[in-house]
Amino acid sequence: MCASRAGGLERVFRGTFIHSTPDAALQILEDALLGVDSVVGKIAFVGKGTELDALTQDFGFSPAEILHLGPHEFFMPGLVDTHIHAPQYSYAGTGLDMPLLEWLKTYTFPAESCFHDLDLARRVYTQVVRRTLKNGTTTACYFATIHTDASLLLCQITDVFGQRGLVGKVCMDRNDSLPRYSETSQESQAETCRFIEELLNKQYPLVKPVVTPRFALSCTGALLGQLGAIAKKNNLHIQSHISENPEEVKLVKELFPEAESYTDVYHRHNLLTDKTVMAHGCYLTDQELDLFHETGAALSHCPNSNISLRSGVLNVRNVLRHKVKLGLGTDVAGGYSSSMLDTMRRTLDVSKILGTLDPDYHSLTMEEVFRLATLGGSQALSMDQQIGNFEVGKDFDALRVNVKVPDGPVDLFQRDQPKVGDDWNIVEVFVAGRKVVPFSDPSNLAVQS
Ligand code: GUN
Ligand code: FE
């Protein structure tokens, strides 16, 4: 039994729990008892069914209050999407016929430029938060757009629906292809400060600001330096893109000739910290991965997007060998699916293809992919003290999964995660102990779709 005394009322579940630890990619706890302190939403104890008597005495609950999982059900940790563009949900699944830089000019910038319209923002942001929660994403690391008020609206919607969110107002003071979708560096800096201050004043318990230079090609060195200073002063998360596409890598070299590498562009502007998450990284060298490791910065692997935009392939084994923190991301709308189960499948598939091309390459196992989507994501966002698995003291962010077939626990897992499972297998979603799916009566919610 593993327990700490709780401060509030218990909600106690009994059944199968599946999660990862740093030592075990997959740990299956059969006939487990898990108690949630429903005042603070944290896991108060995890024990075995055989320890029922001691647990009821220690924690003062009655066996009649226990919620029993069905024989085809299990709990797993909530999925962590370490990279998703909320406004791009408006055109997800379309326009994947071009490589990255043309795709940005043709579809992305025109679409994002419309988000000064708060009605549009409210509609799209409500849809993306509802959809990702239903897909089991309990934590999402969002890019919004350059518009501060619409970015604050995304924070409000994330709070209302009860999703854990990291949200960034996008910064870009360089955009030749669509000058109206750009800011001066002074505006970008001032609006980033306003975004951070207003968001922190709202005191949404689960939503944090992220300093968000779009990528090196969208920002001058001056702006990158200002953003690095803002993040440092306020001890904030940082997110951006890196080494996604060969043309992008080439242009970054030309634009920042003084830098030793793409990674060095961010490093010399104080943007690589242990609270940084960079998307993609397909073309990073071993030296650059060493720099990620030394600074504690993380990568977000976005395989659907890498395939859909024909950007490249990330060698996940090599990233792990360099002990770089790694999570998974949908990268909507470069990735056409907002489901982390899809991201898990693509991660497996890409790794298997690498295995067919190189007999020495050890493809990832499904268990490893499960860990990347849960505990790995929490590490990549430097939140592994708070979320990522079912350790006592962590917040209860969890999915109740029903595979609707008779089987033992390992098969339960394999059937659902991630091979053939879908959002209809996710029957309940909890964030910080609060049930957020199925949604409560929408009339109780200030923001509606
Ligand atoms: N690089 C800069 N902006 C973007 C974006 O919106 N999506 C992707 N996939 N890459 C980017
Ligand atoms: Fe992206």
Domain that holds residue 344: 79-381
Tokens describing residue 305: 């997007």
As averages over each run of 10 residues, the pLDDT of the chain (449 residues) reads 55 97 97 96 96 93 94 96 98 95 98 98 98 98 98 98 98 96 98 98 98 98 98 98 98 98 98 99 98 98 98 98 98 98 97 96 96 98 98 98 70 59 88 94 53
| 83 shares a domain with 65 | no
Residue 363 burial (10 A CB sphere; 0-12, 13-18, 19+): middle
Give the pLDDT confidence score for residue 406 in this predicted structure: 56
HSE-up of 97 (CA within 13 Å, CB side)?
3
Give the pLDDT confidence score for residue 442 in this predicted structure: 53
Quick one: how far is CA 75 from the chain centroid?
A: 19
| Residue 447 domain flag | no
Last residue of a domain, one of 361, 381, 401: 381
Give the pLDDT confidence score for residue 424 in this predicted structure: 82
CA–CA gap between residue 248 and residue 246 (Å, rounded): 5
Side chain identity, residue 31: D
| 94 shares a domain with 20 | no
**DSSP state for residue 440 in the 8-state scheme:** P
Please identify every residue whose CB atom is under 5 Å from ligand 2, which is an ion: 279, 331
Give the pLDDT confidence score for residue 440 in this predicted structure: 80
Ligand sitting nearest the alpha carbon of 245:
1
**Domains contained in the chain, number:** 2
| 45 shares a domain with 91 | no
| 303 shares a domain with 401 | no
Strands, E, within 262-321: which ranges? 276-280, 298-301
CA–CA gap between residue 178 and residue 127 (Å, rounded): 27
CA–CA gap between residue 272 and residue 275 (Å, rounded): 8
Q: Which of 178, 244, 311, 314 to mutate to test the pocket of ligand 1 (most atoms within 8 A of CB)?
A: 244
| Residue 303 domain flag | yes
Q: Which of 115, 215, 304, 308 to mutate to test the pocket of ligand 1 (most atoms within 8 A of CB)?
A: 215
Give the pLDDT confidence score for residue 412 in this predicted structure: 61
Give the H or E element holding residue 202.
helix 185-202
Give the pLDDT confidence score for residue 48 in this predicted structure: 97
Ligand sitting nearest the alpha carbon of 172:
1
CATH of the domain at 319: 3.20.20.140
Alpha-carbon dihedral sign for residues 22, 416, 410, 315: negative
| 90 shares a domain with 72 | no
Whole-angstrom Cα Rg for the chain: 22
